[in-house]
Structure 1
Amino acid sequence: MKKLILTVTVALLTSGVSVFAANNINTNNADEIVVVVNNDDFKEITAKELPEAVSNAIVKDYTEATITKVYVNTSEQYKIILTANGTENVVYADKEGNWLKETAVITVKEGENVSEEE
């Protein structure tokens, strides 16, 4: 009889914890903000087409890296895929050779006008 009561008690406690955990998983967080950066307006170019300032920045800051692919957008920002030690990394630079964060890359669709006042 003691085993039966103990088993039922353990079963009730375990099911209560499982229900509590399941309720926490299914809650929606309405305060969560998702930011999507669209960098689809880049077109592929050759490494020889990179401005000298960008090439110099790569040589200076990524001495061990090899350029795998290079892309440019309409704002003359460059997306550069580098390989170093078997690892592929993506970096962004402007035409002056300044490194950019991915979130700072300007994406402009054809037909849109961008002014300096925005």
Structure 2
Amino acid sequence: MKNLILTTVLSFVGLSAFAQDVAINEVESVTTEIALTQDFQEIDVADLPAAVITAVKKDYPTATINKAYKNESNQFKLELSLKDGASGTVYADADGNWIEL
């Protein structure tokens, strides 16, 4: 009988210790990645390439370009406002193709 009780106690203690090890191993370090946006410098709307202006007129016919920015990769950030009051920001390359950043 003593052996049965001793075996049960040791099994319980062993399982408890194992459960603690599993819980500790389940905690993973959390790594936070911060995506740095490329630095855009404000430029005059008149300095935009013709292809970008054509793309805006084609895809957003009621839009007005309020501000324009350019980065080192020759990509453009455009702040647009529509006649219905909506506004937004779009990105384009120098050839007038829309891109997502």
TM over 0.5: yes
Partner Cα distance (1:56, 1:45) in 2: 18
Partner Cα distance (2:40, 2:33) in 1: 19
Q: 1:60 aligns to what SS in structure 2?
A: helix
**RMSD over aligned Cα atoms:** 2.3
TM-score (ref. length: structure 2): 0.63
Partner Cα distance (1:86, 1:73) in 2: 27
Partner Cα distance (1:81, 1:90) in 2: 5
Amino acid at match of 1:87: A
Partner Cα distance (2:32, 2:63) in 1: 32
TM-score (ref. length: structure 1): 0.55
User: Unaligned stretches of 5+ in structure 2?
Assistant: 1-27
Which of 42, 47, 51 pairs up with 2:40?
Answer: 42
Residues 50-92 of structure 1: per-residue CA shift (max 9 Å, x gap): 0011110001001011111100001100000001121220000
Q: Which residue of 2 aligns with 1:107?
A: none
1:64 matches 2:62: yes
Q: Which residue of 2 aligns with 1:98?
A: 97
